[in-house]
Amino acid sequence: MGIKFGREYKDIVTDFVRGIEMVNGFYELLEMNAEDWQELDAHEQEECLRTLADDIFYGLGSTPVMQVGAGSVRHDAGNHVLKVHDGEKLVSVIYLV
């Protein structure tokens, strides 16, 4: 099915990365623990986050909610946004159009 978007994909991913990194334990989706994550340099962390954002974006095309660490990411198709939650707290809204 896929997610429809009107913004530049690279801009969506940049915003999405910033939202995902606000979720406690997001690196668990990469099969890492906090120590493993901290051992990566800044460039490696950025690349991992971009890959994670791409993977989640693709997954949301068929499943409207995905668990990420202690939170979740939701595709709100009606409002053309992605909502990133850390636990129950909304931490980021990424506009798709």
Which 3 state secondary structure label does DSSP give 53? helix
Instruction: Extract the tokens encoding 92.
Output: 């980021």
Residues 16-72 have pLDDT tens digits of 999 999 999 999 999 999 999 999 999 999 999 999 999 999 999 999 999 999 999
Q: What is the pLDDT of residue 1?
A: 65
Name residues whose C-beta falls within 8 Å of residue 56's C-beta, 6 or more positions apart in sequence. 16, 20, 29, 66, 68, 73
A 10 A CB-CB count for 78 gives 6
- Phi and psi, residue 32, nearest 5°: -120, 160
**Is pTM, for the whole model, over 0.75?**
yes
Task: Convert the pLDDT of each residue in 58-94 to its tens digit.
Answer: 999 999 999 999 999 999 999 999 999 999 999 999 9
